[in-house]
Structure 1
Amino acid sequence: MSSKVFADQVVVVTGGGTGIGRAAALAFAEQGAASVIITGRRAEPLAQAAAEHPALVPVVADVTRPEGAEAVAAAVAERGGQLDVLVHNAGVFAEIPLDDLNADEVRRQLEINVVGPVLLTGRLLPLFTSPGASVVVVSSISSRLAAPGHSVYAASKAAVDSLIRSWAVELAPKGIRVNGVAPGNVETDILGVGGVTPDRISEWREGYAATVPAGRIGGVADITSWITRLAEPASSWVTGEIITVDGGRLLV
């Protein structure tokens, strides 16, 4: 693959300070993107990520709020005013049984996982390069599985899958493609941030690989390679697809 496949392009990656988002942002930069705007609510991880490549531009923004979406739009405007790729990676996971859920927690997960992508995509829509722009949304195989203990997260990802399919049809006349990547369990810091205890994470790490036909837990690179592949011009006839990247977990 050419290192300049995204030459001169402007890319936005939400949740770009850590994990999959950070790795995806670096992959776009290394493949020639002129500017990769990385967003998040915490300044420190964004700054640390931005220090890894001069094309990375940190923007502290809560994209579940209109003012956060405006901040991202302003950053795009400062870099020529046209957007080529938008990656919705920001998300929250929480392992909470139904009898412990409350309305605030339900709203928090839905706002971050669903409302944020809706608001940001709508605000950036006038800025997309047309034709040729691409939206890639990080979903999860949880959208298609029974998910005891994290049912709201799974429901939010099922909503994300529906958005991907609906937007693919709605935005096709504008020359904008919309696709998704649905990872299986990938080792990032989302579990710890979501309140899963270290002992529980260790238990999961030891046991999960045995349930995957490929025999291992996913790595960040397994996902980022598909994010960039779906966004690149060579995939110009691919839209409305949700690529499962789970080592075969859904097959068993």
Structure 2
Amino acid sequence: MPDQIFAGRTVVVTGGGTGIGRATALAFAAQGATTVIICGRRKERLDQVAAEHPAVVPVAADVTEEAGAEALAHEVRERGGALDVLVHSAGVFRFTPLGALGPDLVREVLDTNLVGPLIVTRHLLPYLLAQRGNIVLVSSRAGHNPGPGQSVYAASKAGVHSLTRSWAAELAAHGVRVNAVAPGFVRTEAFEANGLTPQQVEGLFDAVTAGIPLGRVADVDDITPWITELARPTASLVTGQIVTVDGGMDTGADPAGQEG
């Protein structure tokens, strides 16, 4: 049985119905969190996660809207008004080659990945301050090492990195820590959401694996331990950090051991 380090704590996880958010919510619940409030746009997905652990509370909400952020704040108030951990996992990945960019696509990516965390954090900040809680943002290695065809997505994640460092500096005096986890390639629904077939996804993963020194694409369970670790009381001196979890891609190492 996992240790109960988060016993008595209240956690909010945006994007908690799928992928990294779902796994993160269940990890906090398994480690003793009394209440794990998850949100997302698809109520049926949230309900499925809530059915897996009694500590999980689903809230159907759009984090890009003021009403969605207020729905989360209302649930926190209903649960006693304490918030110990806020995890921003809601996000959208879109292939964004320059020639295909349009205003609707740009707004979708920026609103979800960058504006959403701003709106939600502003609404929940009083409850975090009261608890001297902490924030963990789920970013991407693309935020500091972008590739072709992902300019808007990468720009949104670079913005998340900036939020992380700026908020860490701003909130340190209040005892609130802010950190981020920046995954590389992770097996989630994001690729199918961009229209790739399962066979195409596997072909993509096979191709990128050649550039990953540790030799494999991540699963969500490779990412969630870093999120919970940054939120632990034992990380009380860690703030303003962006932890990259990408199998060594950022090292620039040649996985074949060849000089190039």
Query: Where on the TM-score scale, by shorter chain, does this alignment land: which range?
Result: over 0.9
Q: How far did residue 4 of structure 1 move?
A: 1.2
After TM superposition, the structure 1 stretch with the greater mean CA deviation from structure 2, 208-217 or 232-241, is 208-217
Q: How far did residue 202 of structure 1 move?
A: 2.2
Partner of 2:116: 116
- Equivalenced residues, count: 252
Q: Secondary structure at the match of 2:210?
A: helix
Q: Secondary structure at the match of 2:27?
A: helix
Q: Which amino acid in 2 is paired with 1:95? A: F
Partner of 2:156: 156
| Contact in 2 for aligned 1:92/1:194 (Cα 8 Å) | no
What are the equivalent positions in structure 2 for 1:62-211 lying under 5 Å apart? Answer: 62-130=62-130, 132-211=132-211
Q: How far did residue 129 of structure 1 move?
A: 5.0
After TM superposition, the structure 1 stretch with the greater mean CA deviation from structure 2, 122-131 or 52-61, is 122-131
TM-score, normalising length: structure 2? 0.94
Q: Secondary structure at the match of 1:128?
A: helix
| Contact in 2 for aligned 1:131/1:174 (Cα 8 Å) | no
After TM superposition, the structure 1 stretch with the greater mean CA deviation from structure 2, 70-79 or 92-101, is 92-101
Matches of 2:119 and 2:16, distance apart in 1: 17
Task: Report whether the alignment pairs 1:241 with 2:241.
Answer: yes
Q: Kindly tell me: are residues 196 and 159 of structure 1, through their superposed partners in 2, closer, same or farther at Cα, counting changes over 3 Å?
A: farther
Q: Kindly tell me: are residues 155 and 243 of structure 1, through their superposed partners in 2, closer, same or farther at Cα, counting changes over 3 Å?
A: same
Q: Which amino acid in 1 is paired with 2:24? A: A
Q: Which amino acid in 2 is paired with 1:193? A: A
The ranges of structure 1 where at least 4 consecutive aligned residues each deviate by more than 4 angstroms after the TM superposition are none
Partner of 2:45: 45
| Contact in 1 for aligned 2:2/2:30 (Cα 8 Å) | no
| Structure 1: stretches of 5+ with no match in the other structure | none
| Contact in 2 for aligned 1:94/1:195 (Cα 8 Å) | no
Q: Secondary structure at the match of 1:12?
A: strand
Q: How far did residue 199 of structure 1 move?
A: 4.3
Q: How far did residue 198 of structure 1 move?
A: 3.7
TM-score, normalising length: structure 1? 0.97
Deviations 1:117-171, CA, capped at 9 Å, x for gaps: 0000011011115453010000100112232111100010000000000000111
Q: Secondary structure at the match of 1:90?
A: coil
Identity %: 56
| Contact in 2 for aligned 1:223/1:245 (Cα 8 Å) | yes
Matches of 2:235 and 2:195, distance apart in 1: 37
Matches of 2:71 and 2:112, distance apart in 1: 17
Matches of 2:146 and 2:233, distance apart in 1: 35
Q: Kindly tell me: are residues 134 and 14 of structure 1, through their superposed partners in 2, closer, same or farther at Cα, counting changes over 3 Å?
A: same
Matches of 1:248 and 1:111, distance apart in 2: 30
| Contact in 1 for aligned 2:82/2:130 (Cα 8 Å) | no
Q: Secondary structure at the match of 1:180?
A: strand
Q: Which amino acid in 1 is paired with 2:241? A: E
| Contact in 2 for aligned 1:40/1:59 (Cα 8 Å) | yes
Q: Which amino acid in 2 is paired with 1:6? A: F
After TM superposition, the structure 1 stretch with the greater mean CA deviation from structure 2, 190-199 or 21-30, is 190-199
Could you say what the CA RMSD is over the residues aligned between the two structures, in angstroms? 1.3
Matches of 2:159 and 2:146, distance apart in 1: 15
Q: Which amino acid in 2 is paired with 1:133? A: G
Q: Which amino acid in 1 is paired with 2:164? A: I
| Contact in 1 for aligned 2:83/2:131 (Cα 8 Å) | no
| Contact in 2 for aligned 1:39/1:46 (Cα 8 Å) | yes
Q: Kindly tell me: are residues 177 and 233 of structure 1, through their superposed partners in 2, closer, same or farther at Cα, counting changes over 3 Å?
A: same
Q: Secondary structure at the match of 2:63?
A: coil
